[in-house]
Structure 1
Amino acid sequence: MQNLLFIVNDSPYGGEKTFNALRFAINLQEDHGKEVNIKVFSFSDSILSGIAGQNPNEGSNVQQLIDILVAQGAEVKLCTSCVKARGLLEAKLIDGVTLGTLADVSEWTLWADKVLTF
């Protein structure tokens, strides 16, 4: 069993890093199923990925990717400090997404066999 931590930092709709990180995680889960455990921690502007109700005009819908990952059993957390800094503590999160702390991502880093950053 491989434990994989994805740390994402970029805005979900300002570029493709967050989109690529999430679709890579989905692909690993689909191709290797029970051979991988996946966790995703979002810092900085990538916390916007976990806010419910976004409807991008064109391109990739990151919320759909998060929904798939959560349905596959991945844990997804948003940095609480980053959410607070952007005035989004009252925002509704995507079902299955929770707020996390540096203690959480530190614990996940020690848990992980591999840490991938985007």
Structure 2
Amino acid sequence: MERMLARLIAAGGEVLLCGTCMDARGISDDDVLQGARRSTMDELAAATVAAEKVLVF
């Protein structure tokens, strides 16, 4: 999965992470793949509505 997401980021894709989910699992910003970033529910909802395709893991 890390290789796939790194390719997505390298191609200009955006990887947004649910901050609430990260907190619940004890994941910090330093633990995530470079180029992925913590997001908010409002931002995730807006990105989902605006996106042509959305992948969820």
User: Same fold judged by TM-score > 0.5?
Assistant: yes
Measure the CA separation in 2 of the matches of 1:100 and 1:78: 5
Contact 2:9 2:35 in 1 (8 A): yes
1:56-115, Cα deviation, whole Å (9 max, x unpaired)? xxxxxx111111000011000110000000111254221110001110111112212455
Give the equivalent residue in structure 2 for 1:70: 9
Calculate the aligned-residue CA RMSD, in Å: 2.0
Measure the CA separation in 2 of the matches of 1:70 and 1:116: 13
Which TM-score applies when normalising by structure 1? 0.42
Which TM-score applies when normalising by structure 2? 0.80
Query: Percent identity, aligned pairs only?
Result: 33
Give the equivalent residue in structure 2 for 1:86: 25
Segments of structure 1 that go 5 or more residues without pairing to the other structure are 1-61
Distance 1:64 1:117, change over 3 A: closer
Distance 1:115 1:66, change over 3 A: closer
| 1:101 to 2:51 alignment | no
Matches within 5 A, 1:43-62: 62=1
Distance 1:97 1:115, change over 3 A: closer
Segments of structure 2 that go 5 or more residues without pairing to the other structure are none
Q: Whose Rg is larger?
A: 1
Pick the structure with more strand per residue. Answer: 1
